[in-house]
Structure 1
Amino acid sequence: MAHLILASSSPRRKALLEQLGLDFEVIRPDIDESPLQHESVSNYVERLTREKAQAILHQYPQAIVLAADTSLGLDDKIIGKPESKAHAFEIWAALSGRWHDVFSGICVATASDFFSEVVQTRVEFQTLSDAEMQSYWSTGEPLGKAGAYAIQGIAAQYIPRIEGSYSNVVGLPLFETVQLLKRVKAIG
């Protein structure tokens, strides 16, 4: 079987993929993750996963490359990772008391095949008070997370409902990932 590479430095994606019992290597691709002007969240995450996969496949042409990217969408805007405490508070104020969408692009690529998919999950976020925002920020958990929260962590208490894949909100939709890996014979 070909060498499987996870083209991501996300510890959450690594842990999710480990749940499947797969043997893989983690290599972080070096690509520009800036959104294009007027790019939808769905198109953005799919483009990034394809670019990540291509970057790693260029270095390791005999490998099977799995790439993923996750972003939030609210009012047709891409909500990324917080750049500061003030930015995190802006994100939470926008999400508070509303539903938003979490999009993950996944791509499995080999020298001869290129498959990608975008998975969407709807998430309801409770209204957060200033005290709750301060408390959550002080945990450090929001750093480096799309939407400034981690559903698998402390933020679970702020999310009354989701519609769709839980693992997608964590960062890697496992069902869809397995289906793509089967297409390239990476798993049985």
Structure 2
Amino acid sequence: MKSFILASGSPRRKELLQQAHLSFSIETSTVEEIVEEGLKPEEVVQQLALQKAKDVWSKHPQALVLGSDTVVAYQSDILGKPADEKEAKAMLETLSGNIHSVYTGVALCSQEETITFYEKTDVEFYPLSEEDIEMYIRSGEPFDKAGSYGIQGFGAFLVKRIIGDYFAVVGLPLAKTVRELRKRGIHPNM
């Protein structure tokens, strides 16, 4: 059986693949992420996922390598990970009471082929008070997450509803990913 490598240090992606009973190793990509100007969010996440997957695959050409990336987009702005508390607060204020989109891109690289796909999920936040935002920032959760929140943690209290794939918001569209992996000989261990 072909070895399967996750090109990500994300604990959330690791947990999701474990939840799907997949055997894999982890090698974090060290590629400098470069995004072309003027790309749509779905193009950005696929491009970044592909850069990560190709970087790791170049060191393990016999393996199947999965790269992934997630961004939060509000109107025409892509919201990455906040640099500091001030930026986290600004992002949360922007998302407060509004609907935004979360895009997660996936790239699979192997000797046979390279494919990319993405999932878009719309997320609506409750209107957030100053106290809500300050409490969430004090939790420390916003700082390593696109858009300054994590739906799978304490940040769940921010979310009024989602339309789409919950797991894509967490960091990997799990059902689609498992189906694509199965087509390529990577099956859950049952």
* TM-score normalised by length of structure 2: 0.95
Letter in 2 for 1:154: F
31-40 vs 46-55, which deviates more? 31-40
1:76-100: per-residue Cα shift (whole Å, max 9, x none)?
Answer: 2211101100000110111111000
Aligned counterparts of 1:157 and 1:23: Cα–Cα separation in 2 = 32
Aligned counterparts of 1:177 and 1:18: Cα–Cα separation in 2 = 13
Do residues 58 (structure 1) and 58 (structure 2) align?
A: yes
Aligned counterparts of 1:118 and 1:17: Cα–Cα separation in 2 = 17
For structure 1, the residue ranges without an aligned partner over 5 or more in a row are: none
Do residues 90 (structure 1) and 103 (structure 2) align?
A: no
Q: Where does residue 78 of structure 1 map in the other structure?
A: 78
- Give the superposition deviation at 1:34: 4.2
- Decide whether the 8 Å contact of 2:64 with 2:108 is kept in 1: yes
Q: Where does residue 115 of structure 2 map in the other structure?
A: 115
Q: Where does residue 7 of structure 2 map in the other structure?
A: 7
- Give the superposition deviation at 1:158: 1.2
Aligned counterparts of 2:99 and 2:35: Cα–Cα separation in 1 = 22
Aligned counterparts of 1:43 and 1:155: Cα–Cα separation in 2 = 26
Do residues 43 (structure 1) and 52 (structure 2) align?
A: no
- Decide whether the 8 Å contact of 2:96 with 2:128 is kept in 1: yes
Shift of the 92–116 alpha-carbon distance from structure 1 to 2, 3 Å rule, reads same
- Decide whether the 8 Å contact of 2:52 with 2:67 is kept in 1: yes
Letter in 2 for 1:179: R
- Give the superposition deviation at 1:141: 0.9
- TM-align CA RMSD: 1.1
For structure 2, the residue ranges without an aligned partner over 5 or more in a row are: none
Q: Where does residue 176 of structure 1 map in the other structure?
A: 176
Other structure's SS at 1:160 match: strand
Aligned counterparts of 2:163 and 2:34: Cα–Cα separation in 1 = 28
Aligned counterparts of 1:77 and 1:34: Cα–Cα separation in 2 = 17
Letter in 1 for 2:80: G
Q: Where does residue 167 of structure 2 map in the other structure?
A: 167
Q: Where does residue 139 of structure 1 map in the other structure?
A: 139
- Give the superposition deviation at 1:36: 2.6
- Decide whether the 8 Å contact of 2:33 with 2:51 is kept in 1: no
Q: Where does residue 126 of structure 2 map in the other structure?
A: 126
- Decide whether the 8 Å contact of 1:40 with 1:78 is kept in 2: no
Letter in 1 for 2:6: L
Aligned counterparts of 1:92 and 1:159: Cα–Cα separation in 2 = 11
Shift of the 97–34 alpha-carbon distance from structure 1 to 2, 3 Å rule, reads farther
- Decide whether the 8 Å contact of 2:69 with 2:104 is kept in 1: yes
- Decide whether the 8 Å contact of 2:53 with 2:65 is kept in 1: yes
Aligned counterparts of 2:31 and 2:75: Cα–Cα separation in 1 = 26
Q: How many residues align?
A: 188
Q: Where does residue 23 of structure 2 map in the other structure?
A: 23
Other structure's SS at 2:52 match: helix
- Decide whether the 8 Å contact of 2:34 with 2:48 is kept in 1: no
